[in-house]
Amino acid sequence: MFKKILIANRGEIACRVAATARRMAIKTVAVYSDADAKAKHVGFCDEAIHIGGSAPKDSYLRWERIIEAAKATGAEAIHPGYGFLSENEEFAQACVDNGLAFIGPPPSAIKAMGLKAESKQLMEKAGVPLVPGYHGSDQSPMLLKREADRIGYPVLIKASAGGGGKGMRAVERSEDFDAALESCKREAINSFGDDAVLVEKYAQRPRHIEIQVFGDTQGNYVYLFERDCSVQRRHQKVLEEAPAPGLSEALRQQMGEAAVAAARAVHYVGAGTVEFIVEQAANGGMKFYFMEMNTRLQVEHPVTEAITGLDLVEWQLLVAAGHKLPLAQDQLRIKGHAIEARICAESPDNNFLPATGSLHVYQKPQSVSFERGPVRIDDGVRQGDLISPFYDSMVAKLIVHGTTREEALARLDAALAQIHIVGLSTNVQFLRYVVRSPSFVAADLDTALIPREAPVLFNQEPVGLAMAVASAVAHTLLEEKALEADDPFSRRDGWRSHGVMRRTLDFEFHDKAVSAVLTYLHDGALLLTVGETSGPLVFSPSASGIDVRFAGQRNSVHLYKNSDLCHVFTGYGATHIVAIDVLAHAGDSHAESGRLTAPMPGKVVSFAIKAGDTVQKGQALAVMEAMKMEHTIAAPADGVVTELLYAPGDQVAEGAELLKIGV
């Protein structure tokens, strides 16, 4: 076995790989960029080498530097994680050429599966069922359109070199094909440097079910069952689970064998995932089609670990060191049910716009164990860390395991409720809504789940005004009591001398000013009035926060205060409320919405208009790229563009004005 490996990645996956290496007594070398100088993975590894600037192209994608770092530290192998260089055959080849083991498949297998069109041609030969479509090399727009007409609408145009949900366009009608093709090709050349596309039948309400495969250098293959990753947004996974609900044993075996055939066809070695699109017929029948193969460890591999009891990174290391696969197919079993939720820094209610900022509070669920416990968190951050705009918005992964799906679901909801993040927007509350949505509960899974359940997923109010105010009041009074203990002269609850005392407290809840009246009664009891609601307020500190009772509700509340902003976490969900300290604030203004400014630091991709153009409210003006996603900046009102302040390709700071509009 290797004595030392280098991990050419960052964040949670770098920590995840390092943990297994440590357990196997293998030393680890981290690499890091400027932005990651203090990142968790740097301290987590035995050694760390700085490899360059914050942008991935200046560090995590600079493979010459990474290979140099491996040689300088005496590492014998490189684990690429996922993303970055993990599916770069030149890098894999360079490792081999430099006498380093690449912990992944041979370069030839990466190449064979790298382009979706070519890999489909290969799979066709290997007898793996394909989504009906065109994946030939003739790219003339006329031919592509003819093929789309033949396949029948809706069709999906896909960048052959695409990944991460980018470079895809759904086309509903023949007359829209040309425009969609043009825009898909443009995105493909910009994102992947290759504008070749394929055209596929666009399956309606399909499921995404993928098979984890493993191969060794002796030609042995197994499949470690499936993962259902149907719950997606922007064609990217949100929740993943194993086993796939409703998948018959026969179909599981058929898909597993098809995936192994795919791996065998490219002489695959190590961990890989074969992604299938599964169509469900009205009579419950399922048909599966090959979509693509990801030649790396997948983000969602922990659900497979949870149901098999295996450590896939350990298997990767064993195979890369030339060992035989530890188990054969007939020794593998599925135990229980596992679900993973991707915790991302983003605003689901704002079209999943990625968020940046500091993790002022980062509280994890109780009873977390790193590996294979019933509740597992894989993360690459600590409280206080900055989520920068340079990398992916995924902050952590929460993985739960249960004997049944119901048990796993209940555990997932409970664990999500215990994740407290303050400092930036996250999808934690959104995930709770998804997990509790009728479709998810009933395992009615398909890629349209999020749009279908939208009414119960977006713009929800988990904690009402009354409870938010009651929590903030309880917290304030407890704070005052703590102060009072230190300083007996600063008592604020003067009820003893004045009999009944009333106090007005001001709040702002969802941009609306709210006044609450607190009455101190003779017997020491408290009466709280918030709008129409009035009643006794009872609270007491508890081991897990504050137990608050008001207006017929009882809640265990955690409240984190950041100046006057109170972040309230309850069993039902989280919200925030501003407790206004009247003296401290005068004339604060709120950020204007709809200004023509960069919503986050990033790069200007293009302008859809030029100076002098007349624009209408809502019209797309510019496209920005940040956190690997494109964001469209729309006109807040009708007007005339007077000046563009940046050029495509420019890097801009958060809040920078992008262009000027006159009325």
Binding partner at 225 among ligand ADP, Mg ion, none, C-beta below 5 to 8 Å by kind:
none
What's the closest the beta carbon of residue 547 comes to ligand ADP, in angstroms? 40
Which residue among 296, 342, 411, 432 is the active-site one?
296
What mask, x for binding ligand ADP by CB under 6 A, covers residues 560 to 599? ----------------------------------------
| CB of 83 or CB of 270, closer to ligand ADP | 83
| CB of 169 or CB of 432, closer to Mg ion | 169
Query: Which residue in this structure is represented by tokens 């919405």?
Result: 593
Binding flag, residue 352, ligand ADP (CB under 6 A): no
Burial (0-12, 13-18, 19+ Cβ within 10 Å), 45: buried
Cα–Cα distance, 29 to 27 (Å, whole number): 7
Q: What are the phi and psi torsion angles at 473 (to 5°)?
A: -65, -45
For ligand ADP, which residue of 36, 147, 275, 311 counts as binding (CB under 6 A)? 275
Burial (0-12, 13-18, 19+ Cβ within 10 Å), 610: exposed
| CB of 73 or CB of 191, closer to ligand ADP | 191
Dihedral of alpha carbons 432, 438, 439, 443, sign? positive
What's the closest the beta carbon of residue 275 comes to Mg ion, in angstroms? 5
- Sorted by sequence, the CB contacts under 8 Å of residue 498 that are 6+ apart come out as none
- Region 273-332 residues binding Mg ion, contact defined as CB under 5 A: 275
For ligand ADP, which residue of 235, 287, 452, 561 counts as binding (CB under 6 A)? 235
Cα–Cα distance, 568 to 559 (Å, whole number): 5
Stretch that binds ligand ADP, among 217-225, 286-294, 359-367, 639-647 (CB under 6 A): 286-294
User: What is the size of the binding site for ligand ADP (CB under 6 A)?
Assistant: 30
Stretch that binds ligand ADP, among 255-263, 290-298, 317-325, 576-584 (CB under 6 A): 290-298
Continuous segment of H or E residues that includes residue 17 = helix 11-23
For ligand ADP, which residue of 65, 208, 401, 603 counts as binding (CB under 6 A)? 208
Q: Comparing C-alpha atoms, which of 167, 171, 131, 136 is closest to residue 292? A: 131
Cα–Cα distance, 374 to 365 (Å, whole number): 11
Strands (E), 428-552: 501-509, 512-520, 526-530, 533-536, 538-542, 545-550
Two structure tokens written together for 312: 């896939």
What's the closest the beta carbon of residue 570 comes to ligand ADP, in angstroms? 31
Task: Reply yes or no: is the peptide bond before residue 348 cis, omega within 30 of 0.
Answer: no
What is the rounded radius of gyration, in angstroms, for the C-alpha atoms of the chain?
27
- Region 359-388 residues binding ligand ADP, contact defined as CB under 6 A: none
> For the chain, first and last CA: distance in Å?
69
For ligand ADP, which residue of 165, 336, 357, 373 counts as binding (CB under 6 A)? 165
What's the closest the beta carbon of residue 507 comes to ligand ADP, in angstroms? 39
Amino acid at 405: R
Binding flag, residue 202, ligand ADP (CB under 6 A): yes
| CB of 156 or CB of 596, closer to ligand ADP | 156
Two structure tokens written together for 645: 């302040």
| CB of 76 or CB of 275, closer to Mg ion | 275
| CB of 200 or CB of 311, closer to ligand ADP | 200
Residue-by-residue DSSP string for 456-470: HHSS--SS-HHHHHH
What mask, x for binding ligand ADP by CB under 6 A, covers residues 446 to 485? -x--------------------------------------
Two structure tokens written together for 43: 């301290």
Binding flag, residue 132, ligand ADP (CB under 6 A): no
Q: Is 94 helix (H, G, I), strand (E, B) or coil?
A: helix
Binding flag, residue 232, ligand ADP (CB under 6 A): yes
Residue with CB nearest ligand ADP? 163
| CB of 50 or CB of 235, closer to Mg ion | 235
What mask, x for binding Mg ion by CB under 5 A, covers residues 244 to 283? -------------------------------x--------
Stretch that binds ligand ADP, among 195-203, 323-331, 402-410, 470-478 (CB under 6 A): 195-203
Give the CA angle between residues 628, 633, 637 to the nearest 5°.
Answer: 170
User: What is the size of the binding site for Mg ion (CB under 5 A)?
Assistant: 1
Query: Within 13 Å of residue 64, how many CA atoms lie on the same side as its CB?
Result: 2
For ligand ADP, which residue of 65, 252, 401, 628 counts as binding (CB under 6 A)? 628
| CB of 168 or CB of 375, closer to Mg ion | 168
Stretch that binds ligand ADP, among 40-48, 97-105, 154-162, 478-486 (CB under 6 A): 154-162
Q: Tell me, yes or no, if 549 is annotated catalytic.
A: no
Q: How would you label 130-163 residue by residue, b for 16+ Cβ within 10 Å and e otherwise?
A: bbebbbeeeeeeeebbebbeebeeebbbbbbbbe
Cα–Cα distance, 191 to 170 (Å, whole number): 18
| CB of 170 or CB of 565, closer to ligand ADP | 170
* Number of separate helices (H) and strands (E) present in the chain: 18, 39
Binding partner at 556 among Mg ion, ligand ADP, none, C-beta below 5 to 8 Å by kind:
none
| CB of 354 or CB of 545, closer to ligand ADP | 354
Binding flag, residue 119, ligand ADP (CB under 6 A): no
Binding flag, residue 153, ligand ADP (CB under 6 A): no
Burial (0-12, 13-18, 19+ Cβ within 10 Å), 564: middle
Return the active site residues.
296
Residues that bind ligand ADP (CB under 6 A): 82-83, 131, 156, 158, 162-165, 200-203, 206, 208, 232, 235-237, 275, 277, 291-292, 294, 298-300, 392, 447, 628
Residues that bind Mg ion (CB under 5 A): 275
